[in-house]
Amino acid sequence: MKLFKFFVSKIFLRRIIPGISIILLICLSNYITFTAARTVFSTYQGSQETKELNQDGNYIANLDPNSTVDFGAIDADKTKNVYDYLSSNFDYAFYVDGFMVSIPNHDDMEISLCYMNEAYYELNQFNLSQGTDLTFDYRFDKNNEIPVLIGKGLSKTYPVGSTIDLEDPALGQKITLRVQGVLEQNAYHSNYYTLNSKSYYNFSIILPVNEEFLDHANLGLRVNGLMDIVILQTTEEKISDLRTVIQDTLGLKLNFFGQQDNNEYFNEYYFHSLKIVAVTSVILLLLITGLSVWNALVGIRLMLKDLTINLLVGLSYSKLRKMFYSYFGILFLINLVIVFSITALNRYSCWLRKDTTFVTYGLFGLIGIDWLSLLAVVFTDIIIGVIVVECMLWRIKKVPISLGVLQ
């Protein structure tokens, strides 16, 4: 230990510029590795979630980006006619989120309301930590309680079996909800077309939507539901008829993308971009590794006399290797702690901002993909460390000790 401290303080730290350079290079490699790894892991989660929706015969709606819509001219009765047409001719998965309400809760968070019908619920297979699955056969009546699922954050205030009174923005009236189950912590919903983008349900209420509920819902819920609706197990001909009905009735020009369309979109745009990110990250890491090796060799040249003198008086190459690995191990650990701290602070900042859709639970605030990404950083650091240390030892061994002391 004394010898290691001597080397660090009297040899390594005397060469400030190479020392700082290697720390900055390691920090940059860790940042690139962590960012790329978390993007890949998050995208994989999103692709697994949407895989159930993106099946042969299913069509996902999306508002045509080139269309112009006068939402103020859309009539509520006409939206009801469209949903009647849907119910008579199709099976469909309905999902809408983004409606916010304020109700008392332990963490003083604003609450996100998510609306889904039975078909969507069955496709997504939500895991519960408490209670039972959502039911959709309730009667919509102001005297009846609507069964709901809630996120983990709300379960502190509203245990299973309790009731919640609120003014529902999608209905424009007061309703009473009964907590039927609690979602597992960090349950999430991925965006269809940005697979690594997620909204977490920890402070959400999931409301079951049936035909009676839709009949009483306001225009906003109905129109938003149409723009992301998933038509299940149908044909291109029927979808063409539906597209015409919606456009003629409401003036909404919707595109309906089938499995092949979605696969082409994901491959052409998203996964192609992901490949670019991966390739670019690998190239940058190789470049950083090369710069690290070069920087280390420059440092060795500056420290060669001190090192060879110690080798001359009895220091073995095996001890020198251990000291090099210990030194770089400490540098890697410091940088890993920095990446970990930044990630933890980022997660914690969501709590400080009361950012309902991004608040998560986990050890030190980190979730699964964060820990996997940190593991990828450790793996990358080990590879870079081995390459740099062995190159340094190779350079030292190339110089005879008798010549090294004269440097």
For residue 280, the model assigns a pLDDT of 81
State the Rg of the chain over Cα.
Answer: 29
Checking phi first, is residue 117 left (phi over 0); if not, alpha (psi -120 to 50) or beta? beta
* Range with lowest mean pLDDT among 17-26, 158-167, 367-376: 17-26
Give the tens place of pLDDT for each residue, 203-237: 999 999 999 999 999 999 999 999 889 999 999 99
Quick one: pLDDT band at residue 269, thresholds 50, 70, 90? low
SS3 for 135-190 is CCCCCCCCCCEEEEEECHHHHCCCCCCCEEEEEECCCCEEEEEEEEEEECCCCEEE
- The rounded distance, in Å, linking the Cα atoms of 71 and 83 is 17
CA torsion through residues 213, 189, 346, 181, sign? positive
Burial 344-378 (b: 16+ CB within 10 A, else e): beebeebeeeeebbbbbbeeebbbebbbebbebbe
Q: Report the predicted TM-score, pTM, of the whole model to 2 decimal places.
A: 0.83
